Structures are given as C-alpha cells and as structure tokens.
Structure 1
Amino acid sequence: MKSLILLLIGAALVNNVVLSQFLGICPFLGVSKKTDTAVGMGSAVIFVVTVAAAVAYPIHTFILVPLGLDYMDTLVFIAVIAALVQLVEMILKKFIPSLYKALGVYLPLITTNCCVLGVALTNVQDGNNFVQSIVYALGTSIGFCISIVLMSGIREKIEENDIPHVLKGSPILLITAGLMAMAFCGFAGLI
C-alpha cells in the first residue's frame, strides 16, 4: 500500500508529466487561459488517462504479448485512446455543453496528447502490474491537472497586471512555465 501511495505522489509531483517530462505541453499552454476551462480539461484528462491505462494493460498483457504482437502497442493504444476521447466528447456534449464549447478543439486533441499515450507506454515499459498501472496513470493525470490549473490561475493574475509589452503573450507564459518547473523540482526530495 505504501509503495502505491509513493507511486501516486511521485507521478503527480516529483515526475510531473508536464513540468519534468514535458509531455502534454500543447493543452497545458492552450487551455490554461481560464481556470474553469483548465479544471474541465484536467478532469477529462484524468478520466481518459486512467481508463486508458486500465484498458491498455489487459490488451497488452493478454492479447498482444501472447500473440507476439507487442510491437503494435503504440498503434493499439492510440486506437483505445481515440475511442475513450470520443466517449468523453459525447458525455460532455450531452451533459455539460458549456464545457464542451469552452474546450473546443482541445478536446479531440486529447487523442494526440502525448501524455496520455506516454502513460500507457511507460506502464508497459516499466512492467507495472494492473494496479500499479492505474495508480501511476491516476497520479500522472492528477499532476497534469494540478499543473494546468496552477498555470491558469497564474495567467489570470498576469492578465490583471501590467507587464512590459515585450513579455506579453508567449514570453511571459514560457517564463512562468519555467519557474513552475523549477518550483516542482523542490518535490524531488519528497520520495
């Protein structure tokens, strides 16, 4: 149990998927303009990453490996992720249309969000069992959500303040992301 908690904390904070592994940068920078949109995107990523890991593990372990097709992992995982994103898109469109509209083009881009595929492939590469795969996926996606929500809060504060014209837009955004990455390095001694 202790190792699972350490895996969860390590995936969320110490090895943050966005700030230390640099996966999922596109939605991190693109959807973090408003906090409510960032929370929605983070929640969708938590669902997709966790369910994708839960589905990818048995497909890899019980179908691809016994048939000697484990080299097809990437292709199969992309198909699984695409199906899950379609499911999330249908659910949001039906029950939370405002969030569906706010996420816009970034919702289908979860399919190609490299952090989703990266988690599934890392689970296979590290030899995680089913429970470890789900805990790692949950921790990684929580880390993504923490990062994007923090960035959105900082961006909202930046918009309220005067900053030099030269730094407006992408420059201040990248400086902020770099400072966040440095701050998250402080969690390295946690585990």
Structure 2
Amino acid sequence: MNIIELFISSILNNNIALVFILGMCPLIAISTSVKNAKGMGIAVVFVVTITAVINYPIYKLLVATNTEFISLIVFIITIAAVVQLLEIFLERFVPKMYNAFGIFLPLITVNCVVLAVSLFFVNRDYTFAQTVSFSFGSGVGWMLAIVLVAGLREKMAKISNPPKGLQGKAIVFIVLGILALAFMGFTGLV
C-alpha cells in the first residue's frame, strides 16, 4: 500500500477512534466544544506523529540488538517524554488551552491511540515512510472524530432536548455509534 492510500485509509476506513474504538476517554470528555476538540485533536496529532517517528528507529535498533522485548517500555517512555514537552510548551505559550485541557493533557500519555499507532507499525511491518503516513493519518482521523462529535454535541445542545436518561454522555455514545456506522461506509475505499 502506498503512503497516500495508507494516509487516507487511516483517516477514513481505518479510523482509529471510530473503527478501532481507541481513545474514547478524552474523545468523550473533551468533545464538549469544537474549540477544545480542535486543540486536543492537534495535540494528539502532534504526539502520535512525533512518537511514531521517534519510536521507529528505536525499534529498528532494538531488533538489530535482539532486545525488541523491551520495546513496549521504550515506547511508553518516549510517549511520556513527548507529552511532557507538549505540556510545558502549552503551559508557557498557550495557557488558555492548557487550562481547558486540565487533567486530560497529561492523560495523552496513557491514551491508547498513541501507543496503538506505535504497536501497529511494528505488527504491520511498515517502512519509515508508511509509519509517518499512518501515524499522521491516524492522528488526523482521531481529530476528525473528536471535532465531529463536538460539533454534533454543540448542535444538539441548542436544538434538542433528549430524554433524561440520554442527556450528557449517554447521547454521546449513541452519536459515536452512528458515526462508526457511517465510517463503515468507507470500507473498501482504499
């Protein structure tokens, strides 16, 4: 699969949030406004892409030295370091966004999307170019999902009054299910 097909596939028919159902905690918690969703989406795109780019050569080095069994620990350390740098940057230069994310910014470290992308490139034996394309596309796909959910939540808050049992996060799960079904329509695209 070429890198453009892989990029499109990772956004649409292999969307990490809506097909693989990964990264749901921050997706549901942060998707209360489109502004916050865009910010968190950009942060996740950055972290996913940078960590995969860093983890790829590290993994190849571990394979060359027959120590790939520690790759999971190394991946987690890399993810934590990148998220820490992002947190320092946002706190210093974009304090409003830093405050809006609250506890969810450091939780990107344990967001399964970030680790899953690194594990996917290992399991699928991607080249470096494929890894970059897949990781960037997966981050963009996750950002697309969170912005779609946030937009729908904002719209529903203005025009609908769901039953008491479906208010809040319950309706978000239904919206996510419908979006997941909609994204199944992209199956076979690439």
Output the CA distance in 2 between the equivalents of 1:51 and 1:115. Answer: 13
Describe the superposition over 1:106-155 as per-residue Cα deviations: whole angstroms up to 9, x where unpaired.
00000000010000011011111111101000000000000000000001
Pairs aligned (count): 189
What is residue 29 of structure 1 aligned with on the other side?
Answer: 28
The answer on whether the counterparts of 2:2 and 2:130 sit within 8 Å (CA) in structure 1 is no
TM-score, normalised via structure 2 length: 0.97
Deviation string, structure 1 residues 56-93 (Cα, Å, up to 9, x no partner): 0000102x112211011111100000000001101111
Query: Paired residue for 1:142?
Result: 140
Q: Distance in 2 between matches of 1:125 and 1:119?
A: 10
Contact 2:45 2:136 in 1 (8 A): yes
Q: Which residue of 2 aligns with 1:154?
A: 152
Instruction: Give distance in 2, aligned partners of 1:181 and 1:164.
Output: 23
Report the TM-score, using the length of structure 1 for normalisation.
0.96
Unaligned runs of 5+ residues in structure 2 are none
Of residues 91, 94, 107, the one that matches 2:89 is 91
Name the SS for the 1:127 alignment partner. Answer: coil
Q: Output the aligned Cα RMSD.
A: 1.0
The residue type paired with residue 49 of structure 1 is: V
Q: Report deviation, 1:170.
A: 2.4
Give the structure 1 partner of residue 7 of structure 2.
8
Moved over 6 A (4+): none
Q: Is 1:76 the counterpart of 2:64 in the alignment?
A: no
> Residues 73 and 121 of structure 1 are in contact (CA less than 8 Å); yes or no, is this contact kept in structure 2?
no
CA distance, structure 2, for counterparts of residue 37 and residue 133 of structure 1: 27
5+ residue gaps, structure 1: none
Name the counterpart of 2:180: 181
